[in-house]
Amino acid sequence: MTRATDDVIIKTVSRIFTPFIQIFALYVIMHGHHSPGGGFQGGVILGASFILLVITQGLDRTRRRFSQKLGTIFCSVGLLIYSGIGILCLILGGNYLDYGKLNKILPVIAAEARSLGILGIEIGVGIGVMAVMYSIFSDIVTGGE
Amino acid sequence: MEVTLLVHATDQAFEIIENARRQAVELLNSTVGLAAEEQRWLEEKRIRALFTGAQAVKTRRLNFLGTFFILFFVWCILSGHFDAFHLSLGVICCGLVAHMSHDLLFANVRFVDMRTIAKRFIAYIPWLLGQIILANIHVAGLALNPKMPIDPKIIRFKTKLESDVSWVTLANSITLTPGTITVDIKEGEFFVHALSKKVARDLLSGEMEDRVAHIYMEADHIYIQDVLDMAHIYGLFRGIGG
| pLDDT (mean) for A23-47 | 89
Tens-place pLDDT, residues A89-98? 899 888 888 8
pLDDT-based confidence at residue A1 (cuts at 50, 70, 90): low
Three-class secondary structure assignment of A55-110: HHHCHHHHHHHCCHHHHHHHHHHHHHHHHHHHHHHHHCCCCCCCHHHHHHCCCCCH
Tens-place pLDDT, residues A102-138? 888 888 888 888 888 888 999 999 999 999 999 999 8
CA distance A55 to A18: 12
- Cβ distance of A34 and B81 shorter than 8 Å: yes
Tens-place pLDDT, residues B181-210? 999 898 889 999 999 998 889 888 888 888
Tens-place pLDDT, residues A51-85? 999 999 888 888 888 888 999 999 999 999 999 99
Mapped onto helix, strand or coil, the DSSP state of residue A49 is helix
Domain extents for chain B?
53-105, 114-225
Chain A residues touching residue B78 (CB < 8 angstroms): 23-24, 27
B225: Cα within 13 Å, side-chain hemisphere: 14
CA distance B232 to A52: 41
pLDDT given at position A32: 82
Phi and psi angles of residue B49, each rounded to the nearest 5 degrees, phi first: -65, -40
pLDDT given at position B188: 83
Q: Does A33 touch chain B (CB under 8 A)?
A: no
At CB < 8 Å, which residues of chain B contact A? 67, 70-71, 74-75, 78-79, 81, 86, 89, 93-94, 96-98, 100-101, 104-105, 107, 164-165, 167-168, 171-172, 182, 184-185
Q: What percent of chain B has pLDDT over 90?
A: 29
Closest CA to B87 of B100, B97, B101, B73: B73
| pLDDT (mean) for A22-29 | 93
ipTM score: 0.86
pLDDT-based confidence at residue A40 (cuts at 50, 70, 90): very high
Residue B167 near residue B147, CB atoms below 8 Å? no
Q: H or E element: which one contains B81?
A: none
Low-confidence ranges of chain B (pLDDT < 50): 242
What residues contact A102, with CB distance under 8 A and at least 6 apart? A85, A88, A89, A92, A113, A114, A116, A117
Residue B193 near residue B183, CB atoms below 8 Å? yes
CA distance B82 to B115: 27
Chain B residues touching residue A12 (CB < 8 angstroms): 164-165, 167-168
What residues contact A11, with CB distance under 8 A and at least 6 apart? A4, A5, A56, A57, B164
Pick among B70, B117, B168, B183 to test the A interface (most A CBs inside 10 A) = B168
pLDDT given at position B154: 93
Indicate whether A144 pLDDT > 80. Answer: no
Residue A142, min C-alpha distance to chain B (Å): 23
